[in-house]
Amino acid sequence: MARRAAEVALAPFAEVGALARMLSEAVFWGARPRYRGRVIVESMEFVGVGSIFIITVTGLFVGAVLGLQLADGFREFGAENQTGAVVGLALAREIGPVFAALMVSSRAGSAITTELGSMRVTSQIDALVTMAVNPVQYLVVPRLIAGVVMVPVLTMLFNLVGMFGAWFVCVKLLAIDSGIFLERMRWLVDWADVRQGLIKAAVFGLAVCLIACRQGFFAGGGAAGVGRATNRSVVHSAIAILMLDYLITGLVLGQGLF
């Protein structure tokens, strides 16, 4: 009983340890040949290009809703002209990277776990080993690179589309002046905000793909086991994204951590 409780309490630490180990192996194997450009491009295509649709649609509506809500709230103080500025800031610093990473996790991360998991349970990963092809180098490294590169790109896309959604609602539907909306936004949002968002996006991208790979790579227990691993992959990713978000924000703002 006590032992079971201890296991449950220690599980998150064991999980973080397993992730750290996979990451260090990926760094080790990523640094030495062979370098598989084609496989990396394919992974980027899958993670990045494959997520354009969901990012565009969710970005549009998130931006629109933010515009609607904030304009409504600001109207109380007669400050609805500030809507563009605040939407821009929220998207660039927080909502863009967090949403883009969550979308990538639910679309690409789950697919990565399922793919690697079924490769594991059908011995395809063992087959790689017997051919002396390192499976971390061949399967994990390209996916991590894809995550680190493509989630920031997708975040930019999310921000752009989100801004458009907010602009459309505020200017076209709520009759806020377009010039003021954009001018206020440019005034408040600067490069440091965008940079903070992109750094977050890169870290989230790494975390999402690392978690997805780790869950798939060590899946067991047949098709049902792969299903459970996919489930865990999405849940762990969501938790990791929001915890890392707080951590990075705390570091950047230099407060709230200790």
Partner 1 sequence: MGWFRTVRDSRAGAEAAASARSRDPIHIRVRDLHKRYGPHHVLKGVSFDVHRGKTNLVIGPSGSGKTVLMRQLVRLERPDEGEVRVDGVDFAKLRGLELDEARRTFGMVFQMSALFDSMSVYDNVAFPLRERLGLPPKEVRERVMARLESLGIADAAGKLPSALSGGMQKRVAVARALVLESPVLVYDEPTTGLDPITTRTVDDLIVEMQERFGLTSIVISHDMASVFRIADYITFLYYGEVHASGTPRELLESLDAPTMEFVEASGVSAEILDARRYSRTSAQSAT
**Residue 110 or residue 155: which is nearer to partner 1 going by CB?**
110
Q: Contacts with partner 1: how many residues (CB under 8 A)?
A: 15
**Residue 34 or residue 186: which is nearer to partner 1 going by CB?**
34
Phi-psi region of 35 (alpha: psi -120 to 50; beta: other; left: phi over 0): beta
Stretch that binds partner 1, among 70-78, 124-132, 152-160, 247-255 (CB under 8 A): 124-132
Spatial CB neighbours of 249, under 8 Å, sequence gap ≥ 6: 93, 94, 196, 256
Cα 108 to Cα 236: distance, rounded to the nearest angstrom: 14
Interacting residue with partner 1 among 11, 41, 52, 127 (CB under 8 A) = 127
Interacting residue with partner 1 among 6, 21, 122, 243 (CB under 8 A) = 122
Cα 54 to Cα 199: distance, rounded to the nearest angstrom: 21
Give me the phi and psi of 155, to 5 degrees please: -60, -45
Q: What is the DSSP string of 104-146?
A: HIIIIIHHHHHHHHHHHHTTHHHHHHHTT--HIIIIIHHHHHH
Between the alpha carbon of residue 47 and those of residues 54, 157, 187, the distances in Å are: 12, 14, 33
CB of 128 to partner 1, least distance (A): 9
Residues 62-121 that bind partner 1 (CB under 8 A): 115, 118-119
Stretch that binds partner 1, among 4-12, 89-97, 123-131, 191-199 (CB under 8 A): 123-131
CB of 27 to partner 1, least distance (A): 18
Q: What is the CA radius of gyration of the chain?
A: 21
Interacting residue with partner 1 among 69, 81, 106, 124 (CB under 8 A) = 124
Residues 25-44 that bind partner 1 (CB under 8 A): 34
- Should residue 130 be labelled a site residue for partner 1 when binding is judged by CB under 8 A? yes
- Should residue 239 be labelled a site residue for partner 1 when binding is judged by CB under 8 A? no
**Residue 119 or residue 166: which is nearer to partner 1 going by CB?**
119
Which of 55, 56, 148, 107 lies closest to 234 in space, CA to CA? 107
Interacting residue with partner 1 among 16, 20, 129, 223 (CB under 8 A) = 129
The residues of the shown chain that bind partner 1, judged by CB under 8 A, are: 34, 115, 118-119, 122-124, 126-127, 129-133, 138
